[in-house]
Amino acid sequence: MTFSVSHAERDGGAACLRLAGELDLSTAGELAAAIDKLTAAGERRVLLDLTDLTFCDSTGMAVFVRGDNQVAADGGWLRITGANGRVERVLRVTGLADVLRYLPDTADPASQSAS
């Protein structure tokens, strides 16, 4: 399955990106570019909806961390939601679920603001 990243409706004031397919070494640059584009446009709150993401390797996870660091440097945050199956398991096993304040269901990300 191919990878896609698309803008979804804003959720709780955050710019929302919906990911679908397989996020790996060959597709991670596409997500990094989408996050870069949002931050260049002044977005400081980013929600990644992983509902349709079927696979994510360490390269994809690194993009999540890079994006979080990027927006945090400007006082913002990056949150993830909707992961399931293997993707959710990898988030939990690696500890990224806690670091990125994983929200199992799409919810108001503002209620999970960085402390």
**Record: fold of 4-109:** Transcription Regulator spoIIAA (3.30.750)
Measured CA to CA, the distance from residue 77 to residue 89 in angstroms comes to: 22
What's the pLDDT at 104?
76
Q: Where are the domains of the chain?
A: 4-109
What's the pLDDT at 8?
82
- Count of other CB atoms within 10 angstroms of residue 48: 28
What's the pLDDT at 103?
75
Cα–chain center distance at 92? 14
| Residues 6 or more apart whose Cβ sits within 8 Å of residue 64 | 48, 78, 80, 96, 100
- Please say whether the beta carbons of 61 and 96 come within 8 A: yes
Which residues are registered as beta bridge partners of 47?
16, 79
Reading the chain (115 residues) residue by residue, the pLDDT tens digits are 699 999 987 767 899 999 999 999 999 999 999 999 999 999 999 999 999 999 999 999 999 999 999 999 999 999 999 999 999 999 999 999 999 988 776 555 444 444 4
